[in-house]
Amino acid sequence: MTTSSTGAHGEQATADLLRQRIASQFARSLHIRTLDTGSCAACEQEIRLLAAPHYDLHRLGFFFTPAPRHADLLMVTGPMIRAFDVAARKTYDAMPGPKIVVATGACALGGVYQPDAFVHGSVGDILPVDVWLPGCPPSPLALLQGLLVAVDRLAEKVSSRSFTADVKPGEVRR
Amino acid sequence: MTLWFLRGLRRGVVTTRYPARPDGSAADLPTPPVFRADALDSELADRLVAMCPSHALRRDADMLVFDVGACTACGRCQEAGGSAAAPSGEFELAATSREHLVKRIPLSREAPR
């Protein structure tokens, strides 16, 4: 019998392995359903551009689908208004497993709206989020990177960034 | 359409993996700030916290806590912070954990009394 800390470590390793296996399943074919939970539509504009020739999402094997029954990935925008609770839950439940949820944009990540009588303020309050995708709105390139992180085709970068720098004012750090 | 198809066959490569080369348009995107710890004192940090419209900044003792996920890259802290904040140029910000987006920036100087 393992100790609790070893058990927790083992559970984490199993969870990571499971996540990788699920991601590799979707690596070459992924169907995306978008869900607007009170967004200003800026995120939707950027998502729409993913299908344009410059970004050409289809070359990666990613497709948008209008039906949650056909979706592998749920892309949620907006601050999750409370009036949308049932619809969000039904959409999530209608998707076949395994499924991925991507919280898209600063609103969905709890940035712009604080929780009150009308909004939850974060998608994570209602749905289990797998990938957090910041930006207001996230550019199509950022969205593309988020989707590739979700299916484990790109490594996450932001965890290694400290956002502290010894740069001169106005100088862009690369 | 046929011409484009033949052009693709002739060149051998129709599409590229992400990212084949840096996208020139990425430099023009508004991006979250990077902070210079040596230029941040507690007074300036408090001012930045008070003016951030999306609650991306907060104070925790002698730390400035920057929530990249909440940042809308509006640039107000970069205007008000002078040399303490500058655009990061980072747009590849997707994270598999919400905690990965929360950065702690030490305040190295105290406000002048």
Q: Percent of chain A having pLDDT more than 70?
A: 91
Which domains are seen in chain A, by residue range?
28-153 (3.40.50.12280)
* Per-residue pLDDT at A25: 77
Q: Has residue B107 been placed in a domain?
A: yes
- How is residue A29 written in tokens? 């074919």
Cβ distance B100 to A159 less than 8 Å, yes or no, reads yes
Phi then psi for residue A38, to 5 deg, are 105, 25
CA of A170: which chain B residue's CA is closest?
A: B86
- The boundaries of the domain holding residue B63 are 30-113
Confidence of residue B17 (pLDDT cuts 50, 70, 90): low
* Per-residue pLDDT at A14: 84
> Among residues 11-50 of chain A, which lie with CB inside 8 Å of chain B?
19
Cβ distance A173 to B89 less than 8 Å, yes or no, reads yes
Measured between beta carbons, the chain A residues lying within 8 angstroms of B94 are 131-134, 142, 145-146, 149-150, 156-158
Cβ distance B90 to A161 less than 8 Å, yes or no, reads yes
CA of B31: which chain A residue's CA is closest?
A: A135
Measured between beta carbons, the chain A residues lying within 8 angstroms of B26 are 139, 141
* Per-residue pLDDT at B83: 82
Q: Has residue B54 been placed in a domain?
A: yes
* C-alpha dihedral, B36 to B42 to B46 to B48, nearest 10°: -10
Q: Is the model's pLDDT at B19 over the cut of 70?
A: no
Residue B72 sits in a domain whose CATH number is: 3.30.70.3270
Per residue in A112-146, pLDDT (tens digit) is 898 999 999 899 999 999 999 999 999 998 999 99
* Per-residue pLDDT at A102: 95
Q: Is the model's pLDDT at A2 over the cut of 50?
A: no
Q: Percent of chain B having pLDDT more than 70?
A: 86
* Per-residue pLDDT at A168: 52
- How is residue B94 written in tokens? 């997707």
Q: Has residue B87 been placed in a domain?
A: yes
* Per-residue pLDDT at A42: 93
- The CA distance from A70 to A95, in Å, is 7
pTM of the model: 0.84
> Among residues 102-131 of chain A, which lie with CB inside 8 Å of chain B?
106, 109-112, 114, 124, 129-131
Structural domain count of chain B? 1
Average pLDDT rounded to a whole number, residues B52-56: 91
A76 and chain B in contact, CB less than 8 A:
no
ipTM of the complex model: 0.81
Q: Is the model's pLDDT at B69 over the cut of 80?
A: yes
How does the average pLDDT of chain A come out, rounded? 86
* Per-residue pLDDT at A162: 86
Confidence of residue A35 (pLDDT cuts 50, 70, 90): very high
Measured between beta carbons, the chain A residues lying within 8 angstroms of B96 are 19, 130-132, 149, 156
Q: Is the model's pLDDT at B12 over the cut of 50?
A: yes
Q: Is the model's pLDDT at A159 over the cut of 70?
A: yes
Task: Give the helix ranges, DSSP H, for A84-165.
Answer: 85-94, 140-150
CB A116 within 8 A of CB B55: no
- How is residue B64 written in tokens? 């400035």
- The CA distance from A162 to B105, in Å, is 8
Confidence of residue A174 (pLDDT cuts 50, 70, 90): very low
Cβ distance B101 to A144 less than 8 Å, yes or no, reads no
